[in-house]
Amino acid sequence: MKNVLDVMSVQKRIEENKIKKQKPTDYRKIEKNGIVPRFLFECAIKLQIKPLTSASAAIIYHRFFNEVSSTDYDEYLIAASALYLAGKIKDDPVKIRDVINVAHSTLNRGSQPLELGDEYWSIRDAIVQAELLIARVLKFDLNIEHPHKYLLYYMKSLQSWLGPTVWSSVPIAKAAASFLQDFHHSPKILSHKPSHVAICCLSLALQTYGVQVPLADESDDASMWYAPFVTDLTKEKHWEIIEDIIETYKQESEINSV
């Protein structure tokens, strides 16, 4: 199944590391692909923002560094600014002081909240300036078409198709949603259509749990279960996106092994 089942083993190792109470990530000492998006999502969890807001922040971050070199800017500053900006865009605002303290304490483990002194105001000014820079680099186009809306529609349709017994027997919806959110760690999410990403997250969930969609034929493009939803997704593209999603978990496993 082209390494589809590898996802479960990788996820299991990640969960085992969490159970073992792995030491918090020292972002200052790790230089690996995917480390800054992990920082972004850790801050998002601490700030208690909505999943769609954190996904928006990740898209903003990836789009920004798709236009500029990562060596020219502080990636952690851009990530923090992306969170602050996404909160405004998604009407899920967070206070800039909270963003500053969460980002600072996440980068500097064990540190106390910043006093209203020179360091605090310096970081605050940097985030505000970075917010304006991001908007300019993206040409003030901050509209984001999320795969989430497609995923909800496809899951609702598939639930009726599979029937309540099969649908409730395995956590297809939860797995697909997790795959989608985790894929936002990778800049490759920008390379694919939102509708295709949603299909592939759902397909990966089905493959992972060995669920066969009735009347579907995987040997024929026209008879694939997702053919009624998207007409321009070939089998080759389908597997390419799934492999990109799986690569995100392999990257996460490498970071955890440091």
DSSP 68: S
CATH number of 148-256: 1.10.472.10
- Rounded to 5°, angle at Cα 196 from 195 and 201: 100
Contact 3, 245 (CB under 8 A): no
Coil, helix or strand at residue 56: helix
Angle at 231 between CA 233 and CA 146, to 5 degrees: 65
102 in Cβ contact with 46 (< 8 Å) = yes
Query: CA–CA separation, 150 vs 126, rounded Å?
Result: 36
Distances (CA, A) of 76 to 157, 204, 231, 245: 40, 31, 39, 23
161's enclosing H/E stretch is helix 148-162
Pick the CATH number of 22-137 from 3.40.50.720, 3.40.640.10, 1.10.1520.10, 1.10.472.10: 1.10.472.10
**CA distance linking residue 217 with residue 226, whole number of Å:** 10
Other C-beta atoms lying within 10 Å of the C-beta of residue 127: 20
Taking CA atoms, 119 is separated from 76, 126, 230, in Å, by: 16, 11, 51
DSSP state of 72: S
Distance CA 138, CA 140 (A): 5
Single-letter amino acid code for the residue at 164: P
| DSSP 3-state of 226 | coil
Report DSSP state, residue 233: -
Q: What is the mean pLDDT of each run of 10 residues along the chain (258 residues)?
A: 47 46 74 88 95 96 94 94 96 93 90 85 95 96 93 91 86 94 96 96 91 71 79 90 93 70
pTM of this prediction?
0.86
pLDDT of residue 112: 80
In this prediction, residue 1 carries a pLDDT of 43
CA distance 140 to 135: 5
Question: CATH 1.10.472.10 region(s) of the chain?
Answer: 22-137, 148-256
**What one-character-per-residue DSSP string does 172-241 give?**
HHHHHHHHHHHHTTSGGGGGS-HHHHHHHHHHHHHHHTTPPPTT--TTSGGGSTTTTT-SS--HHHHHHH
Instruction: Tell me the DSSP string of 204-215.
Output: HHHHHTTPPPTT
